[in-house]
Amino acid sequence: MTRRLALAALAVVALSGCAGTAPSDAGAPSATAAPSSAPPPAPSSAAPTPAGRALAVQVAGGRATGDTGRVPVPLGEQVTLTVTGDAADEVHVHGYDLEAALAPGTPATVRFTADIPGVFEVELHGTGTVLLSLQVG
């Protein structure tokens, strides 16, 4: 019971995000909105590996490409996130409180076990650029 309460408290803190960041569902249509005629998003290149899930994001000119958007990850999966950018910043995985320094042209890697269920933003801390949202569960 105590572990469940602790996990619930962590989820609430994680969902609150850092100051200056947009909520992970910002811009999402409401339940009453008309369906979009836009094509469905391309499949993510996020791929399970023998050691877990490998995610790669590239940032150029403040714009993120690669494994962006909402990325589903099974609970308990090992995650390896690699971010390459054109400017110095810091990669931050909300909820897991993990950070990695990002230097221009040098990949930053964060490895962890996705053992907290919920939706967690991964952002560049300095600019507030949201790279992706991990949906763990």
pLDDT in tens, the chain (137 residues): 443 334 344 343 343 444 433 333 333 333 333 333 444 444 444 544 456 999 999 999 999 999 999 999 999 999 999 999 999 999 999 999 999 999 999 999 999 999 999 999 999 999 999 999 999 99
Query: What is the C-alpha separation between 135 and 114, in angstroms, rounded?
Result: 9
Task: Give residue 112's pLDDT.
Answer: 97
Task: Give residue 1's pLDDT.
Answer: 45
Buried b (16+ CB within 10 A) or exposed e, 71-101: bebeeebbbebbbbbebebebbbbbbebebe
In CATH terms, the superfamily for domain 2-20+44-136 is Cupredoxins -  blue copper proteins (2.60.40.420)
Task: Give residue 46's pLDDT.
Answer: 53
Q: How many CB atoms lie within 10 A of CB 21?
A: 18
